[in-house]
Amino acid sequence: MIKEADIKQTKANAKAILKQYRGLERKAGRSPIDIRSPFMNDMPKAPKRGNMVEDALIQNIEIKEKIQAIEYALSRL
C-alpha cells in the first residue's frame, strides 16, 4: 500500500532542490558555448577526448529541464 510521507524528509528534499534554483537560472542564462582566447604554451598536450561543445549543449539542456520541472512543481502547489 502507500506509505505515509515523512514530512521532515520531504521538507528537507524540497529545500535542497529550491536552493539550486537560482544557480540553475544563472547557468541557463549563460551562453552554452564560451568563447575564449587561445592560450599559447610550448608544452605538448595530449588530445582531449570527447566533444566539449556537445557536452556544454547537453549540460545547458539538462539545466533548463531541471528549471522547468521545478517551476512546474511550484505551479502545482
The pLDDT score that the predictor gives to residue 61 is 92
**pLDDT, position 52:** 78
Model pLDDT, residue 69? 92
C-alpha cell at 72: 512546474
Say what the pLDDT of residue 57 is: 87
Q: What is the DSSP string of 34-69?
A: --------SS--PPPPS-HHHHHHHHHHHHHHHHHH
17-69: pLDDT as tens digits: 999 988 888 888 866 555 566 667 777 777 667 777 888 889 989 999 999 99
Domain limits, the chain: 53-77
Residue 14 backbone class (left: φ over 0; alpha: ψ -120 to 50; beta: rest): alpha
Checking phi first, is residue 50 left (phi over 0); if not, alpha (psi -120 to 50) or beta? left
Whether pLDDT at 7 is above 60? yes
> Residue 31: what pLDDT?
60
In whole angstroms, give the CA distance from residue 24 to residue 73.
Answer: 16
